[in-house]
Structure 1
Amino acid sequence: MSGAISVLVIIAVIVLVVVRQCRARRISDDRRWWILPGILIYMALREPGLTDPRHEALSVTFLGAELLVGLVTGAGWGWTARLWHEPDGSLWSKGTRATAFVWAGGLVLRAALYGAATMSDIRQGSSALMAALAVTLLVRSGVLALRAREVRPAYGGAAVGPSPQPAWKDRV
């Protein structure tokens, strides 16, 4: 796949994810939350140029840093999203201001890494960005799935997760 197509895929995924994050969205009990990140990882690994062959060790270091930024961004994104139950028992999610700050911080860190790699004469292809985006989405979806199991409805509906512990007054 050419570099232009890879860039278009990355932009399309980011737009899709950001638009979906800004709107309240129902979280289903779908077990396929890993498919989009899996496709992105597959596409990133298929592309040549994940690392720069002229500076292999330093290139792998920058790739590792990029993946670490993706992991932290995804975790922060998943933990800052607001989760709630509707009266019908359905679980919903929406990004918060903190989520926007996490995204902005992740973008700034990625830009700084890209700048440092460029100043070090290391070529980073779109596959590195695609792999980092896949890690971000995978971790975010995993954190949301984990949090969704622990969120209980405020009233009515079936509880999700273990039953609540009695208050200290109830145990006397």
Structure 2
Amino acid sequence: MSSLLNVLVAVAVVALIAARQLKPQRVTADGHRWLVLPVILVVVALREPGLLDSRELSLSALLLGAELVVGLLMGAGWARTSRIWTERDGSVWSRGTKATAGVWVAGIALRLGLMGLGALIGVHQGSGALLLALAASVLVRRGMLVWWARAGRPSYGDGVAAAPWKDRV
């Protein structure tokens, strides 16, 4: 796949994720469906040649590592700023907040800064780094929300503490 196509895939995924964050969405801890999108992004990123610049391997690896750290931190910040609650029926829901949008803006600014730094020092960065960081963000955020949903920590939508889980008859 071309770099342009990878960037378009990343933009489409970001747009999809951002649009979904504007609406409440159910957090399900069932199965591993929440792993599908990050796995697809990783596969697409690793298939792209030039993930690391062969001329500047160590600097390229350092920038890739920084990109992944930013992705992990962005995913954690994204999860921490999401509102999460349990409805009376026991289902867990989440929705992004204004602070979540701030995390997105800060993460994108940091990524653009890393791209600019790479261009400044002459290190070519392929679009695979962007896709890997996006996969890390999605994986961390979703993993944290699923973990909190399983732990039973969310409150009810009206601020009442969540009732302990009970067996269904």
Shift, 1:157, TM fit: 8.5
Shift, 1:89, TM fit: 2.1
AA at the equivalent of 1:108:
A
The whole-number CA distance in structure 1 between the counterparts of 2:98 and 2:38 is 24
Consecutive unaligned residues in structure 1, runs of 5 or more? 162-172
The whole-number CA distance in structure 1 between the counterparts of 2:8 and 2:36 is 19
TM-score normalised by the chain length of structure 1: 0.86
TM-score normalised by the chain length of structure 2: 0.88
Count of aligned pairs between the two proteins: 161
Indicate whether 1:96 and 2:120 are aligned: no
In the alignment, which of 152, 164, 168 is matched to residue 159 of structure 1?
164
CA 1:42–1:58: 2 relative to 1, 3 Å: same
Indicate whether 1:4 and 2:9 are aligned: no
Shift, 1:70, TM fit: 0.2
Identity between Structure 1 and Structure 2 (%): 48
The whole-number CA distance in structure 2 between the counterparts of 1:147 and 1:158 is 15
Q: How does 1:112-123 map to 2 (within 5 A)?
A: 112-123=113-124
Secondary structure at the counterpart of residue 134 of structure 1: helix
Alignment correspondent of 2:109: 108
Q: Which has the larger radius of gyration?
A: 1
Alignment correspondent of 1:65: 66
**8 Å contact 2:38–2:138 — kept in the other structure?**
yes
**8 Å contact 1:88–1:157 — kept in the other structure?**
no
Consecutive unaligned residues in structure 2, runs of 5 or more? none
Residue-by-residue CA offset, 1:82-126 (whole Å, 9 max, x unaligned): 111222222110011221111111111111111111101111111
